[in-house]
């Protein structure tokens, strides 16, 4: 997955950042679903994850967490960067926080890679490079957020 390769190259070099598609106050990708309820926005997010083969790990009243296990070279590279040979296969996770603002619904997204180490502790690295944020911002735009 290009997310992991971007993470790897960040560690190896101080590569130049591409500009953000959308600047937000939180620093995370955000979108507003105009004239939409929290439930309808949550349904769109769940559908967007499942349409892309991403497992919906958790969904409650104001949050959706989607997860996908890395495979092949991406999994090996991520495991090398954040785990070891005894850790579980790394997962990419995305948390969508969903809340109502008047008639609209606002969504913010945070993404990270995590693995469980041999004795149960979790290792986690946030994916916060501009290209990773832009990919997530484009995902929100695809779902209909502005």
Provide the pLDDT for residue 107.
96
Integer Cα distance of 10 and 7 in angstroms: 5
Q: What is the mean pLDDT of residues 48-56?
A: 93
With beta carbons less than 8 A apart as the criterion, state whether 70 and 91 touch.
yes
Q: What is the mean pLDDT of residues 48-68?
A: 93
How high does pLDDT run on average in the chain? Answer: 83
Q: What is the mean pLDDT of residues 72-84?
A: 70
Integer Cα distance of 26 and 23 in angstroms: 9
Provide the pLDDT for residue 10.
45
pLDDT digits 0-9 by tens, 10-44: 444 445 578 888 888 888 999 999 999 999 999 99
Residue found under tokens 């997010």? 45
Categorize the per-residue pLDDT at 5 as very low, low, confident or very high, splitting at 50, 70 and 90. very low
Delineate the domains of the chain, giving CATH numbers in brackets.
2-7+24-142 (3.30.310.80)
pLDDT digits 0-9 by tens, 102-133: 999 999 999 998 888 888 888 888 888 899 89
Q: Is the pTM of this model over 0.75?
A: yes
């Amino acid at each position: 997955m290009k997310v992991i390769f971007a993470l790897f190259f960040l560690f190896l070099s101080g590569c130049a950042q591409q500009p953000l598609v959308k600047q937000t106050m939180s620093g995370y990708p955000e979108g507003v679903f105009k004239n939409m309820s929290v439930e309808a926005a949550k349904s769109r997010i769940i559908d967007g994850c499942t349409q892309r083969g991403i497992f919906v790990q958790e969904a409650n009243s104001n949050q959706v967490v989607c997860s996908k296990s890395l495979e092949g070279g991406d999994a090996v590279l991520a495991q090398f960067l954040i785990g070891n040979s005894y850790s579980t296969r790394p997962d990419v996770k995305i948390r969508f926080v969903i809340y109502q603002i008047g008639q609209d619904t606002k969504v913010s997204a945070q993404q990270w890679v995590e693995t469980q180490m041999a004795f149960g502790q979790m290792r986690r690295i946030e994916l916060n490079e501009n290209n990773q944020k832009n990919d997530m911002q484009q995902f929100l735009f695809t779902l209909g957020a502005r």
